[in-house]
């Protein structure tokens, strides 16, 4: 990028073939990897002395899908404010005008690891139930804004060494629904609920299935339903859990129902067999007295193919395996402002999305000062919660 296009007070960092142009307040940038949506760097914010993660959105104006996703992510990050959902500390562009505008940077709290790494650890019942409790609190908060995630997975959930957890993204837009016959995988669909795989309607407890898949993986140490495509995914589910009832089949679209009904019939296995005692940590001797039988009971209520019979988020939060951490202020935190779902259905050209995103970035910068002063609603490091398992060393 030509130097004269970069605003004053910005500094360029280069990592392989990726340029980061960020305000000078951010120092010691270090690449931390990233996914389809962009590269992430760790940095020190010299203004607040806080360690932060700076995400450069990957070619947000490459096509309509990318532009729409960038707009949606930015809008939602501005909207939500909950300790279990990643907060926006700052947002900026290094370019000086809409004509030159091409890069969007989001600044967030720096976390220590994603859940993929944590799943490989030997977690005791305290840590496992506390991580699940926080996931459920974050999901409940999103639901209170009318945001149903539908795509929770370990790579998009991050944790700190003190066992605090945050959900990192906002899932699928309403219009990004999948249909059963769509083939090859571009992204991981191992954690998506049957109703998403089968192209059915869905309600809030679609996200409970994903939590169940994550919990099962924590216990088993491997992915529960590692399908190579939608069809293989469905087969993996019914081989373990059994063919669903005719009442469930009746809700499917005719072409999907025809396929599903013609699969071999499976009886499935009892949860005692799918998740035997030897896979669980030993029963807790702490005051919580958490045990394998409680964990298995919760799992059996989450991993239910028919969403009508699946446990709700509210009921999961008061389940004996989870409610030892119950804190009214966390479970029923003030709801975010309602999310305008018309964004997900809106049809715009790339240039129109680009202008909308530019307006959002400018509005954010103007309301926070061009220095990008952290907003009052942003998430600084959460205060240590006295109910956290074993204090600050808990994931080390």
Cα separation values, 264 from 241, 256, 268, 385, Å: 13, 15, 12, 50
Is-contact 95 103, C-beta < 8 A?
yes
Residues 6+ apart with CB under 8 A from 358: 93, 98, 101
Is pLDDT at 1 greater than 90 in this prediction?
no
In the chain, CATH 3.30.200.20 covers 10-110
Lowest mean pLDDT segment, chosen from 72-76, 168-172, 260-264 = 168-172
For 157, the enclosing helix (H) or strand (E) is: strand 157-159
Three-state DSSP class for residue 289:
coil
What is the residue whose two structure tokens read 């909950």? Answer: 82
CATH number 1.10.510.10 is the correct assignment for the domain at 113-332: yes
Among 3.30.200.20, 3.20.20.30, 3.60.15.10, 3.40.50.2300, what is the CATH number of 10-110? 3.30.200.20
Lowest mean pLDDT segment, chosen from 101-110, 353-362, 385-394 = 385-394
Is-contact 114 158, C-beta < 8 A?
yes
Task: List Cβ<8 Å contacts ≥24 apart for 315-320.
Answer: 316/136, 316/208, 316/211, 317/133, 317/136, 317/137, 317/140, 319/294, 320/294
DSSP line for 58-105: SSTTSSHHHHHHHHHHHHHHHH---TTBPPEEEEE-SBSSTTT----E
pLDDT digits (tens, 9 = 90+) for 162-206: 999 999 888 776 654 444 444 333 457 899 999 999 988 889 999
Question: Cα 45 to chain center, whole Å?
Answer: 25
For residues 58-85, give the mean pLDDT.
Answer: 88
In the chain, CATH 1.10.510.10 covers 113-332
Q: Indicate which residues carry an active-site annotation.
A: 151
């Amino acid at each position: 990028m030509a130097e004269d296009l970069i605003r004053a007070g910005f500094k360029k960092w280069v990592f392989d073939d990726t340029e980061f142009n960020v305000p000078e307040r951010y120092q010691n940038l270090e690449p931390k990897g990233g996914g389809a949506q962009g590269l992430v760097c760790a940095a020190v914010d010299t203004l607040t002395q806080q360690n932060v993660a700076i995400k450069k959105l990957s070619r947000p104006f490459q096509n309509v899908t990318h532009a729409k996703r960038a707009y949606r992510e930015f809008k939602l990050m501005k909207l939500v404010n909950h300790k279990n959902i990643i907060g926006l500390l700052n947002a900026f562009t290094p370019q000086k005008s809409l004509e030159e505008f091409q890069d969007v940077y989001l600044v967030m709290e720096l976390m220590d690891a994603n859940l993929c790494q944590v799943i490989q650890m030997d977690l005791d019942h305290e840590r496992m139930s506390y991580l699940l409790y926080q996931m459920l609190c974050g999901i409940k908060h999103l639901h209170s804004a009318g945001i149903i995630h539908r795509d929770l997975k370990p790579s998009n959930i991050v944790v700190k060494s003190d066992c605090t957890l945050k959900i990192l993204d906002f899932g699928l837009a309403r219009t990004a629904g999948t249909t059963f016959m769509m083939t090859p995988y571009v992204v991981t669909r191992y954690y998506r609920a049957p109703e998403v795989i089968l192209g059915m309607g869905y309600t809030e407890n679609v996200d409970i299935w994903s939590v169940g898949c994550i919990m099962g993986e924590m216990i088993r140490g491997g992915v529960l339903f590692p399908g190579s495509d939608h069809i293989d995914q469905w087969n993996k589910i019914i081989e373990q859990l059994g063919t669903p009832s005719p009442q469930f089949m009746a809700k499917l679209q005719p072409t999907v129902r025809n396929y599903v009904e013609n699969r071999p019939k499976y009886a499935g296995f009892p949860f005692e067999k799918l998740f035997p005692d030897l896979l669980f940590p030993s029963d807790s001797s702490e005051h919580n007295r958490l045990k394998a039988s409680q964990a298995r009971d919760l799992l059996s209520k989450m991993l239910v193919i028919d969403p009508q019979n699946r446990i709700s988020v509210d009921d999961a939060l008061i389940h004996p395996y989870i409610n030892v951490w119950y804190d009214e202020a966390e479970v029923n935190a003030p709801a975010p402002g309602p999310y305008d779902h018309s964004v997900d259905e809106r049809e715009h050209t790339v240039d129109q999305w680009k202008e909308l995103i530019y307006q959002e970035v400018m509005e954010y910068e103007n309301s926070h000062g061009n220095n990008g002063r952290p907003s009052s609603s942003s998430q600084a490091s959460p205060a240590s919660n006295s109910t956290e398992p074993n204090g600050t060393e808990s994931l080390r």
